[in-house]
Amino acid sequence: MSAGILGKTHAGVPSYRSGYVSPSGTKIQYSNDWVKHHPLEGDGLRPLLYLHLWKKNKGSESRLKDIRLPDTVVYEHNFPRAWYTYDGEAKEINKHPGKMLDAQSIYEHFSRSTPDCDVVAQFLTTCAQDNPAISSEGGLLTYVKFFTAESLREFLFCHERKPDGILQKFVLPKRGDDNAEKLAAPSYVVTSCDGGVQADK
């Protein structure tokens, strides 16, 4: 394609910039900054990413076979909405049925610890930051809370409202030849640990 073709809108060709009417009669038009409001765009936590990965991976010829996902439960409106897990044999991301989205099932799976580490899970959430000492621009901060089996039980079974976010099974990084990608986000991350956390020996 030439630059001329990419750079202009042709008469009769639907475009999100100029808008168009769908077959059902709905007017479709996006603002110039629509990408900033897309559910998968932006800095910080994006719970819809897991739904996207699951759908992309499910029954597709272009499966994401190199994706390794720790067990992830998405929380919305104080309830677990989805539980995604990675099947190592089939090399695909699966979604647990809704009947497994109860605190007891989640606790039984997530509370299993690994040798030499008491941390079993982590919860990630975002909230607006209003501290000018951190940033004068405001925006969202991503918080990470680490759980031992005991503090995870308190989190899952307590009656306090849970913020929107994701609960992930904690996985120790591989030793030696680490092939994990290092991701960096330009926002600050605040972490907190509940219970006695035993470091690697």
pLDDT per residue as tens digits for the range 11-48:
555 555 566 676 777 776 666 555 455 555 555 566 66
- Region class of 30: left (phi > 0), else alpha (psi between -120 and 50), else beta: beta
Strand partners, 124: 144, 166
Residue 67 in any domain: the answer is no
Question: How many Å from the N-terminal Cα to the C-terminal Cα in the chain?
Answer: 58
- Inside any domain, residue 14: no
Classify residue 49: in a domain, yes or no: no
Structural contact between residues 57 and 93, judged by C-beta atoms closer than 8 angstroms: yes
The total number of structural domains in the chain stands at: 1
Instruction: Give the model's pLDDT for residue 178.
Output: 46
Q: Is residue 60 part of a domain?
A: no
Alpha helices per DSSP H over 29-131: 48-57, 103-110
Closest CA to 70 of 139, 123, 5, 132: 123
**35 inside domain:** no
The percentage of residues in the chain with a pLDDT greater than 90, rounded to a whole number, is 22
57 is a domain residue:
no
33 located within any domain: no
Residue 94 φ/ψ, nearest 5 degrees: -115, 160
Q: Which residue has the higher pLDDT, 32 or 2?
A: 32
Q: Mind listing the pLDDT tens digit for each residue in 80-139?
A: 999 988 887 877 788 888 888 999 999 999 998 888 889 999 999 887 766 666 554 556
- d(C-alpha 107, C-alpha 152), whole Å: 7
User: How far is CA 153 from each of CA 41, 107, 124, 161, 166, rounded to the nearest angstrom?
Assistant: 33, 7, 17, 15, 16
Give pLDDT, residue 12.
Answer: 55
Residue 111: its pLDDT value, please? 94
Evaluate whether residue 141 is within a structural domain. yes
79: which strand partners?
A: 76
Domain coverage including residue 188: 72-83+97-172+184-201
Q: What is the reported pTM?
A: 0.61
Q: Is the alpha carbon torsion for 64, 65, 68, 73 positive or negative?
A: positive
